[in-house]
Every structure is written in C-alpha cells, then in structure tokens.
Amino acid sequence: MADGTEAIVLRTLRYGEADLIAHVYTRHAGRRGVIAKGARKPKSRLGARLEPFLALTLQLVEGRGDLATVRGVDVIAAHDSLRSSWRAQQVGAAALDLVSRITVEHQPSEPLYHLLRNFLDLLDSTAGRTPPASDGDEQRGSALLVAFQLKLLHVIGIAPQLAACVRCGDADAGIAAFSAADGGVVCRGCRTPNDQSLDAATYDGAVALMRTPMSELATRDGDDLPSVRVLRTVGSGIVAGTCREHAGVNPKH
C-alpha cells in the first residue's frame, strides 16, 4: 500500500527504455532511491514532476529491492523561479550535489530535510525578484550557499570549530589560521606552517554565515554580506577542507 512521503528531488537518471530513477531526500527516511516506471513516456504525468529542486509528496510502494516504486506525485513546491534562473540553478545544484554525496542512504535527519527545504525556498524567492538578476543577487546566492554548507556540516556533526582555537581552546586569542585536519580555527600561538592562513575578514565572515539565519541573509543587500573574496575563501577553504578531511567529499562551488 502506498504511503505519502515528503521528499526533495536531488537528481534523476534515465533507466531502461522509459523508466526514471530519482534520488530524493525524504523528511522521515533520509536519502533514498525511487523508480517511476514509464515516467519518460509522452503521456506519463510522473516524469515532469520528478525533477531536481522540486519538493513533493510521493506515493510509494516498497518492493524487495532498494528502490521503492512511485505510484503518484503531488507537488508541494515547484520552485519555478529557481529553475528558470541559470545562476540560481548553479547555486542550488551545488547544494543538492553535496547533500547527495555527504549523506548516508536511509539515515533519517528531519533537521537536514528542513534545512534543505528552507534553502531552496529562499533561493527561489530571491531568483524571482524584480528587477532582473544583478551582481548583488549573485553575491546573495553565494552567501546562501556557503551558509547552507556550514549549517549542513553542523547538522551532520562535522562542523568546524569557530568559537575558539581548536588546539588550545582559547576564545580570546587572535585567530590566524584554519586546520581542516584538526577541525577548526587556530590561534597565532598554535599555528603551524601546514595551516591555512585566515585573515580577520574571512574569519568574521565564516562566523556570521554560520550564525545568521538564511532568511536574514536572503534579504540583505550586497554591502551587508561578506565580500565575494570572503565567500570564496570560506567555501573553498573552510567548507571544502572540512568536507574532504572528515567526509571524503569535495563540494562543488
């Protein structure tokens, strides 16, 4: 018997002559795979509703294998503005890719589901604004992505320590570097040549992105967001280093 399952589509794969396999992140069962038989046939109503970025309620029938069969789909949020914007798609795709690769199948996390859903809703709302996309929109999208990545690391339990030196625990010592291996920021006294340099603006930006609600970041102007340089450094340094060292994953940007 089919049960209603809230899910976000992460990616899809063609299978056989007319079937479609979707990797989804569900609210109560975590990441899993489902198959929609005949979804690629011209008259099928399933295929158009099983696309990345969509939030859905799936009617699933469990079988003997790992893939549940999709019997019906109701769209909760289509995120049309996100899917109509090239910039927003690039940002959203990086988030979906990281969730796909850093999570474990059938390991539920309702906080992760809500984090991802909130991120996509906010990205959709910013993509749908008028006037047309600007450099400020691109900066806002990058800020949302890096904030999402940091918060995702927190949810799965591998967030970098930012409040104090990861080696001596001193919260008042001047932060000068980041160590992916040790999992956090490093003060001047504990710094070694192998650590990644971290200037004050980048450190402050990382702390702000971790602590600030994404809904607040989505409404800020470019002048009130971390600079493009800071966003790139936090994303390619702190986020990427943590993912590689503690999850064996290299996130996209």
User: Per-residue pLDDT tens for 116-175?
Assistant: 999 999 999 999 775 555 557 789 999 999 999 999 999 999 999 999 999 999 999 899
8 A C-beta contact, residue 239 and residue 210 = no
Rounded Cα gap, residues 225 and 151, in angstroms: 17
Residue extents of the structural domains in the chain: 3-77, 80-247
Q: Which of helix, strand or coil describes residue 197?
A: strand
Q: How many CB atoms lie within 10 A of CB 114?
A: 12
Rounded Cα gap, residues 143 and 215, in angstroms: 11
Q: What is the pLDDT of residue 79?
A: 97
160-184: b (≥16 Cβ within 10 Å) or e: bbbebbbbeeeeebebbbbbbebbb
Cα radius of gyration (the chain): 20
Within the chain, residue ranges assigned H as helices are 80-84, 86-102, 110-127, 135-156, 200-211, 214-217, 228-233, 240-247
Bridge partners, 14 (sequence order): 20
pLDDT exceeds 90 at position 48 = no
Rounded Cα gap, residues 121 and 83, in angstroms: 12
pLDDT tens readout for residues 191-215:
999 999 999 999 999 999 999 999 9
Domain 80-247, architecture per CATH: Up-down Bundle (1.20)
**What's the length of the chain?**
253
What band does 63 get if pLDDT is binned at 50, 70 and 90? confident
Q: Which of helix, strand or coil describes residue 121?
A: helix
Q: What is the pLDDT of residue 3?
A: 52
On the 0-12 / 13-18 / 19+ scale of CB atoms within 10 A, 78 is middle
Q: What is the pLDDT of residue 134?
A: 56
Matching residue, tokens 């158009």: 48
Domain 3-77, architecture per CATH: Beta Barrel (2.40)
